[in-house]
Amino acid sequence: MSNQKTDKVFNLIILDESGSMESIKKTIISGFNEVVQTVKGVAQEYSEQEHFITFVTFNSLKTNTLLENEKVEKLREISEREYNPTAGTPLFDAMGNSISQLRKVTQTHSEYNVLVTILTDGEENSSKEYNGATIKKMVEELKQQNWTFTYIGANHDVEKFAAAISINNTMKFEANEQDIQKMFSKEKASRMSYSKKIRNKEDTGSNFYE
């Protein structure tokens, strides 16, 4: 393929940093670092695509943007210094704020795709700015604009919760090292398939994990 980059791909990863994630902290860090390498690998494989990544962690004490629209070349792995689970799970606020910020960026482009990945081990329990109805409306609007939403969860009814906010690309995992490694492996393969669909001008909005 030509090295001319014709497709912009914005990757947004929203990672739960609430207290319940503490028991799987090291495995989650390892898994995210695999995602970093995957995004870099995808960018090399599909050289016509220019990938950017925003990485947000959240709990009820803070939302922390570790990477914001960084190019692949600037991606770096994280360590236990950057990821310290504690407190509650304001998932709707984390989604609403980070998606709104990225939406402002995409509005300056005409040709782009957005992949939003949400990873949590529990349901929403402490948002103050957004609720389920506002998030559902936002997701439904953006799905019409080349945004693909995926939801990876543990310890709750993943499909039911995701469906309530109009996300149909879901993956469930058990909160143990073996299952988390399997989950990230599937996530890696799905990202490769997603970029292949972009190259082939196929539908990217559904069947992400199939």
Percent of the chain with pLDDT over 90: 81
Instruction: Give the gyration radius of the chain's Cα atoms.
Output: 16
Q: Which residues pair with 70 in a beta bridge?
A: 53
Quickly state the pLDDT bin for 145 (edges 50, 70, 90): very high
Quickly state the pLDDT bin for 74 (edges 50, 70, 90): confident
pLDDT of residue 76: 87
The pLDDT tens digits for 2-36 are: 456 789 999 999 999 999 999 999 999 998 898 88
Residue 12 belongs to what H/E stretch? strand 7-16
pLDDT of residue 73: 83
Distance CA 55, CA 35 (A): 11
Distance CA 33, CA 166 (A): 28
The structural domains of the chain, with segments of one domain joined by +, span 7-49+60-199
Quickly state the pLDDT bin for 43 (edges 50, 70, 90): very high
Cβ burial, residue 55 (10 Å; 0-12/13-18/19+): buried
| Mean pLDDT of the residues in the chain | 93
7-49+60-199 adopts what CATH topology? Rossmann fold (3.40.50)
Q: Is the pLDDT of residue 56 over 70?
A: yes
Residue 141 belongs to what H/E stretch? helix 132-142
